[in-house]
Amino acid sequence: MKKSLLALAVLGTFGGMAAAQTSVTLYGIVDANISRFEAGDKAAPGIAGTTVTRMNDGTTNGINGSRWGLRGSEDLGGGTRAIFTLESGFNIDTGNSAQGGRLFGRQAFVGVAGGFGQLTLGRHNTPVWNTMAIADPFGQGQVGNVAGGFETGRAPLPLFIAPATNSASLGGVRNDNSVNYRTPNFDGFVGEFQYRLGETVGNVSRGRQFNMGATFTSGPLSLGAGYQQEKTVGTGATRNKVTMVVGSFDLGVARLHAGLQSNRDLEVPTALASDGLLNKHTVYTVGATVPLAPFTILANYTTATFEDPQLVNNVVTPTREGTVGKFALGAQYNLSRRSILYTGFSMATGDFKDSVTEKTAVNVGVRHAF
């Protein structure tokens, strides 16, 4: 018995010494909701005019996608640290891995940090996506998510976008094979720069991407800007040129949010554009966050304009310009510092509102962080 106690004491001593130099934190979020969706009358056959009620992980109309992760840091001396993050997404409604079954599909990077900023290598969220959060009272989640575009049953209709892949997808928010640098905080200003390696055999430029974001915070004011462009793997042409400005201001009784995004030469599914490109896409959002402790009331309106005269979508309407938008209201109730109940309602607007699978949506859910 005495030997066991002595061994435990020795282990505790060495554990304390290690903790002074190195720390590893286990963290996570579990988020689930029940949602009811009503499709528009011009959505794809078999979907048009139908309603469905289903349980979702937080990645769909929740506050956050469910995840668990490890975050570590080692003191290297002189104010410099070695750091890493490994973050795995999963669907709480089924228990399956998210992000296509990747072990650490949300984030996986390693690097160094110090007075010079933070430099990391691996899989990252894009700076454009990180900056976009300033414009969204829903925190890039729930039914009001400014980046949550619409499905039609055949091809997506985007709102705010952060395309991070050169595949035919507008929903990406992360980059593989990327180098990411974040500056120190200079009196409220923080810059973030990311370069994705193309890794195309015989042509180092194809598939590469440059992505940047900058934020400035001073008192009640927050401002941000982002830019992205990439070279496609197939042709090496410059695609997915995204320019964005966002801002918010805290009035005390409410925080106001706004954002504008102008996008050119987007690589999209061929069902949305006749040549596989959406040549011009402009979107803006306005919203508010109203704290009424323990409640928080959320509201926003987001609308996108498709300005390519060659726009073709056999779900929507061919060969003409058009708009699609979303009006959303939501509420959160803080059960504790870590646990939140939430509910929300959204309604599609604009020329293409009857062509989407979520013409209206209403849900209720719970989110817990650990």
Tens digit of each residue's pLDDT (9 = 90 or more) over 41-95: 988 889 999 999 999 999 999 999 999 999 999 999 999 999 999 999 999 999 9
The radius of gyration of the chain's CA atoms, rounded to the nearest angstrom, is 22
CA atoms within 13 A on the CB side of 345: 2
Residue with tokens 């410059």: 238
Comparing 27-41, 117-131, 229-243, the range with the smallest average pLDDT is 229-243
Q: Which residue has the higher pLDDT, 209 or 317?
A: 209
What residues have CB less than 8 Å from 52, skipping those under 6 apart? Answer: 36, 37
Residue 361: both structure tokens together: 């949506």
Nearest to 361 by CA among 67, 173, 151, 132: 151
Cβ-based neighbour number of residue 95 at 10 Å: 9
The answer to whether the beta carbons of residues 176 and 141 sit under 8 Å apart is no
* CATH number, domain 24-369: 2.40.160.10
> How far apart (Å, rounded) are the C-alpha atoms in residues 211 and 228?
4
User: What pTM did the predictor assign?
Assistant: 0.87
Work out the angle at residue 74's Cα, subtended by the Cα atoms of residues 72 and 78, and round it to the nearest 5 degrees: 140
Mean pLDDT of the chain: 87
Separation CA 242–CA 231 (nearest Å)? 13
Helical (H) or strand (E) element with 69: strand 67-77
pLDDT digits (tens, 9 = 90+) for 15-51: 444 445 899 999 999 999 999 999 999 888 899 999 9
pLDDT tens by residue, 140-198: 999 999 987 888 887 678 899 865 543 434 446 899 999 999 999 999 999 999 999 98
Is-contact 83 113, C-beta < 8 A?
yes
Residue 125 has pLDDT above 90, yes or no: yes
Q: What pLDDT does residue 166 have? A: 38
% of the chain beyond a pLDDT of 90: 69
* pLDDT for 310 beyond 80: no
Tokens standing for 199? 């890794």
Query: Which amino acid makes up residue 181?
Result: Y
